[in-house]
Amino acid sequence: TLAGQVGIGEHATLQSGVMVGGQSGVLNKKTLRPGPLYWGTPARPISEIQEQHRLLASVPRLHKEVEKLKKELDRSFSTGKTD
């Protein structure tokens, strides 16, 4: 099953039962096997995409944490306190 606007590269193989989400891109010579829903460009199992989106959503919080730790380290080293 292919949703709308899926691009399929040359010599790509989609085995029977494969599902590819809309606007996905299947790379040249890639073989997709049935099981997961594939999505994205390049088309990957949607569970991988969801994990990447979850991690990406945590970047702003992690950036703030790193900036806070850098300031604490700067203060520690400027006052001579390293313990």
Question: How far are the Cα atoms of 15, 17, 19, 35, 39 from residue 4, in angstroms, in the given order?
Answer: 18, 17, 12, 19, 12
Share of the chain above pLDDT 90, in %: 87
pLDDT in tens, 18-29: 999 999 999 999
Q: Which residues are CB-neighbours of 35 under 8 A, at least 6 positions away? A: 45
pLDDT-derived band at 65, boundaries 50, 70, 90 = very high
pLDDT-derived band at 83, boundaries 50, 70, 90 = low
Q: Taking 90 as the threshold, does the pLDDT of residue 4 lie above it?
A: yes
